[in-house]
Amino acid sequence: MSLTIQVIPSTSATSPKYVGWRGLHLQEGGRGAPAGMPAILPPNETRALEMTDAIQRMSYDLARHFAPSIDGNKWRAMHSYKVAMNNGAQNGFGKSPHRDIINNEDLSAPLPRYDKMQRSFAGTFIRGDAAGGVLYCTPGIHGIDATKPMPSIAEIVEKNWYVIACTSGIKIWNFPHGNGKPVVYPFIFDRVISFPLEWFERWEQDTLPDYLRVYK
């Protein structure tokens, strides 16, 4: 007596690699920002985050991972008091002294701060939990937990715990510091933050979105 076993291929679909949210550009109905200005998506909360020595080193290494031409001076310019992530003399470099471990300057001065932890950008892919028209992001799950030791750059990249800086308008540009390469900041916070869900669209694909592209 022979026994025949029939193998039936599985028909279950493979889950997409990237399941989360893409920030909408202005012309897609996203948050309004004047043409040529940073296409920032600020969180609802208005808390600053000190850039400790560990955060500074991590942010520098992360920036150079995507744009190797970024040196200490360009990293410092990325965190100027006049640039999107460190607004104000009390937060960014260039007007009031702040401790700069990357360039070994003003080491006795107060730490710089991300003035509103943490902005995202139109076009950037992030993860979070949606409820009641709000997108909630939890540290250590959807972004870097600022209260814990900094993760490796490989882990940050693998988990998409970063945002990519670009401008608003008909023509969308990279920030200039990367010489045409993506200019990247860490998506980092020390407590749950939230965004209006209307600034995002669901993204379920095997590839990341092109952050400079208008899809809608």
pLDDT at residue 165, as a whole number: 98
* CB 132 within 8 Å of CB 151: no
Cα 93–Cα 97–Cα 103 angle in degrees, nearest 5: 65
DSSP 61: H
Q: How far apart are CA 16 and CA 41, in angstroms?
A: 25
pLDDT at residue 29, as a whole number: 93
Phi, psi of 27 (to 5 degrees): -75, -5
Q: Which residues contact 93 (CB under 8 A, 6 or more apart)?
A: 76, 77, 79, 80, 81, 86, 100, 112
pLDDT at residue 62, as a whole number: 98
pLDDT at residue 6, as a whole number: 39
pLDDT at residue 12, as a whole number: 44
Tell me how far apart the terminal alpha carbons of the chain are, to the nearest angstrom. Answer: 62
pLDDT at residue 8, as a whole number: 40
pTM: 0.92
pLDDT at residue 13, as a whole number: 63
Question: Which has the closest alpha carbon to 163: 196, 186, 197, 133?
Answer: 186
Q: Which residues of the chain, if any, have pLDDT below 50?
A: 1-12
